[in-house]
Amino acid sequence: MIGRRKRQIIKTISLYLVNTLLGLLFLIPLLWMIASSFKPEQNIFRDMSSISAFIPTDFTLDNYRQAFERVPLLKYIANSIIYISITLMMSLTFNSLCAYALAKFKFRGKQFVLSLIIALMVFPFESIVVPLFIIITKMNLLDTRWALILPFTARCFSIFLFRQFFLDVPDELLEAAAIDGSNRLHSFFAVVLPISGPVFATVFILDFVMHWSDFIWPLIVLIEDSKRTVQIGIQAFFTDPPIYYGPIMAALTIVVIPMIVLFLIFQKYYVQGISTTGLKG
């Protein structure tokens, strides 16, 4: 008994140690980027061979001043937030309703629709860029906000996540709501929605990160500079001379902050959502 308990303790400690080391491994580039954003240009690569790489030597905020002076960074960030907010509101609504129907309704062709959605998850976005661009052009939506929003209001992976969660919602709750005179749509908003916080948080985080990091599609459909997203905007630091790595690190640090804050806020619900949608290992 004591030997088994000792082995369990050693196993637990080893697991935490490995996870800690892996976490540090993934954090190292982020920590170096943040530290470098507060360093003079000449110190960034000079400190690479020592622990000073992660410690801001000769602390300065000049890199952040240059980052905001070289490009309208706040404008690009505001554009991205507006695009993503509208996209997510529409996406969460449509995808959750579609998944609700697939999880709780019985109708002809249901299995075919579900199989089609799962099959479409395999195709990478790059494989449909050209036909999607042609459609957007034919609809006269090129260089408009809707070119960034409409193609992503429905997403197969999000529908799958919602469906997996809704399958675990007891049918008795919906039957009780029906007895009280509630129709199917009202039952969704009154019964299912209040207990679906974890899956909504999970889809929200995954979709936000995907759209916030998207570069290819905005680059293709946006022409006017004032409509650019943040990922396109920061490319000026890499393409327009002079190229200084201090402002680049500062701009990248600013861009990554919303994702870190978002994950810290919804971390609890994200973990719950992943564990209840059939994605846990």
CA separation (Å) from 101 to 8, 74, 279?
A: 45, 40, 21
- With cut-offs at 50, 70 and 90, classify the pLDDT of residue 273: low
Q: For 80-105, what is each residue's pLDDT tens digit?
A: 999 999 999 999 999 999 999 999 88
- With cut-offs at 50, 70 and 90, classify the pLDDT of residue 278: very low
Report how far residue 35's alpha carbon sits from residue 80's, in angstroms, rounded to the nearest whole number. Answer: 26
Residue the block writes with tokens 């059939």:
278
Report how far residue 118's alpha carbon sits from residue 159's, in angstroms, rounded to the nearest whole number. Answer: 9
pTM of the predicted model as reported, rounded to 2 decimal places: 0.83
Task: Please state which CATH class domain 62-275 belongs to.
Answer: mainly alpha
Q: Please, are residues 215 and 76 in contact by the beta-carbon 8 Å criterion? A: no
Domains of the chain, residue spans:
1-60, 62-275
Closest Cα to residue 257, out of 53, 22, 73, 65? 73
57 pLDDT more than 80: no
pLDDT at 2: 57
Average pLDDT over residues 58-66: 89
